[in-house]
A = this chain, B = another copy of it.
Amino acid sequence: MRVSVIGGSSVSDVVYEQARQVGHLLGTRGHELVCGGRGGVMEAACRGTREAGGHTIGILPGSDRTAANPYVDTPIATGMGNARNPLVVLNGDATIAIDGSTGTLSEIGLALDYGRPVAGLDTHQIEGVEQVDSPQTAVEYVESAGSDS
């Protein structure tokens, strides 16, 4: 399956490591990653997925695809700013949200609106988001919930 990973573009080392583990688990289990293509959680998750041999997609706000973080295999430039947020969650079968601020909140809302299962790790407490406590449980949740959708 393909999983959207969303979260802050500037994060602590602890959050970065969590996101990297999420990405690594996704790659190990044969999933493809899609994210917003930038730094922080997005970079960490791409890095983990790629280290595990998986494929990573970054859907960027800007119009220059070389602005993607170095772990994005397939960058997609949009030049649409925040109007690209819907595409990040639309292009995954399920979403994992890690940390993050208002941009992440908007993507959680959009993911739920598209009917995507959402696992939340140290992120916004939103009805409909499955709060999980580890990278492992995040990935397990989206595997079980996403395969039904």
Contact = CB atoms under 8 A, between A and B. Distances in A.
Interface of A: 2, 55, 57, 59, 63, 65, 74, 76-83, 85-87, 90-91, 101-110, 112-114, 124, 126, 128
A40 to B, nearest CB: 15
Contacts of A74: 55, 57, 74
Given A82-B114, A85-B106, A104-B109, 18 more contacts: A2-B65, A59-B76, A63-B90, A77-B90, A78-B90, A79-B82, A79-B83, A79-B90, A80-B80, A80-B81, A81-B86, A85-B86, A85-B110, A86-B106, A102-B109, A102-B110, A105-B113, A105-B126
A80 to B, nearest CB: 4
A113 B80 CA distance: 15
Contact of A109 (B2, B59, B105): B105
Contacts of A104: 109
Nearest to A84: B83
Nearest to A100: B109
Contacts of A57: 74, 76
A98 to B, nearest CB: 15
Contacts of A85: 86, 106, 110
Contacts of A83: 78-80, 83, 86-87
